[in-house]
């Protein structure tokens, strides 16, 4: 089951507007609205704002509250980030695509290390 991030289904249910009419107004498929309603997919902020505008409700009513307790995770992540940098891991790397063009991207090793750190910290 998907994590409930939005309350669009509730907002639509409390209105007289049919999903089909909303989908046509937004120029999206009915299944897109269905995915939003079941929290399988999430609308962009622009789309969320358009839904609130049509339903004439505050955008806050379209988003589910996600209560969280303060554990110091952001501070711990910042310290780990600085530690990784001090140990030689870089934020960005240069990659070359098939055509030979180079571009700078996030270092996948850094991303992996930070994500693993967060998961380990959250589970302990």
Write the pLDDT tens digit of every residue in 43-58: 999 999 999 999 999 9
Please tell me the pTM assigned to this model: 0.69
Domain 8-62 adopts which CATH fold?
A: 434 Repressor (Amino-terminal Domain) (1.10.260)
- Alpha-carbon distances, residue 58 vs 5, 48, 49, 106, 108 (angstroms): 16, 10, 9, 36, 38
Band of pLDDT at residue 2, cut at 50, 70 and 90? low
Write the pLDDT tens digit of every residue in 14-45: 999 999 999 999 999 999 999 999 999 999 99
Domain assignments of the chain as residue spans, ordered by start: 8-62, 73-123
């Amino acid at each position: 089951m998907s994590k409930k991030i939005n309350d669009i289904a509730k907002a639509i249910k409390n209105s007289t507007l049919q999903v089909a009419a909303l989908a046509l107004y937004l120029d999206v498929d009915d299944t897109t609205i269905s995915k939003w309603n079941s929290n399988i997919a999430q609308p962009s902020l622009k789309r969320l704002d358009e839904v609130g505008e049509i339903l004439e409700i505050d955008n806050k009513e379209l988003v589910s509250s996600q209560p969280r307790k303060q554990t110091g995770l952001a501070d711990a992540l910042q310290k780990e980030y600085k530690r990784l940098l001090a140990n030689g891991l870089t934020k960005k790397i240069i990659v070359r695509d098939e055509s030979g063009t180079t571009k700078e991207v996030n270092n996948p090793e850094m991303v992996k290390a930070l994500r693993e750190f967060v998961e380990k910290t959250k589970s302990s």
